[in-house]
Amino acid sequence: MRRGFTILEMLITMAVVLIAVLLILGLAARAMVISTQSLTTIELADDLLKTAMELRKEIIKAGPRADQVFFDPDNPASISFWVNVPLAGENYNFQNYRYTIVFRRPNIELQIYQEVSKEWILEKTKILATDISTCTFFASPGTISFTIGKEKNSIERTYFMSIALPNLE
């Protein structure tokens, strides 16, 4: 009897081992892609939640004293509040402010205007969020809602939030 393997046996063994290695590498590559997509989705959800909380904070800050909400359904990327603040300014009189939250791709900005001699003067601008792909506001009696979206690596996520402001009608 001869010792060792024939060439045919070696070729068949190498082919089987090669197929097994390629299957394992294919599964590992697919797992890495799924893992990367999952991490991107989690990161987008986290960013959107932080942005939503920042918008909520600014809307609530204006809300308790907001006398009116200005919302144009033809321009849903912006919403404004009129706020009358007592004991404000140099003479401690009532002071009118207009808070405007506006989406200018890719940023969401807060613009605060002060009424001086019947004119609105921009007092402060603050960037609330960056890298936002969509932002739409909705207003209904007592409620302000918004949808924000963000995209990264061909994955897009959106977040919807409603804020109740009972003093608004």
Question: How many structural domains is the chain composed of?
Answer: 1
Q: Rounded to whole angstroms, how far apart are CA atoms 162 and 56?
A: 9
Q: Is residue 6 one of the residues assigned to a domain?
A: no
Q: Is residue 28 one of the residues assigned to a domain?
A: no
* Per-residue pLDDT tens over the stretch 57-87: 988 876 655 657 888 888 899 999 888 777 7
Q: Is residue 151 one of the residues assigned to a domain?
A: yes
Q: Is residue 33 one of the residues assigned to a domain?
A: no
Q: Is residue 8 one of the residues assigned to a domain?
A: no
Q: In the chain, what is the straight-line distance between the N-terminal and C-terminal CA atoms, in Å? A: 99
User: Which candidate, 159, 33, 66, 153, places its Cα nearest to that of 108?
Assistant: 159
Domain residue limits at 83: 38-164
Q: Is residue 131 one of the residues assigned to a domain?
A: yes
Rounded to whole angstroms, what are the CA distances from 41 to 32, 65, 105, 152? 14, 37, 21, 9
* Per-residue pLDDT tens over the stretch 104-155: 999 999 999 998 888 999 999 999 999 999 999 988 877 889 999 999 989 9
Q: Is residue 106 one of the residues assigned to a domain?
A: yes
Q: Is residue 27 one of the residues assigned to a domain?
A: no
Is residue 21's pLDDT more than 60?
A: yes
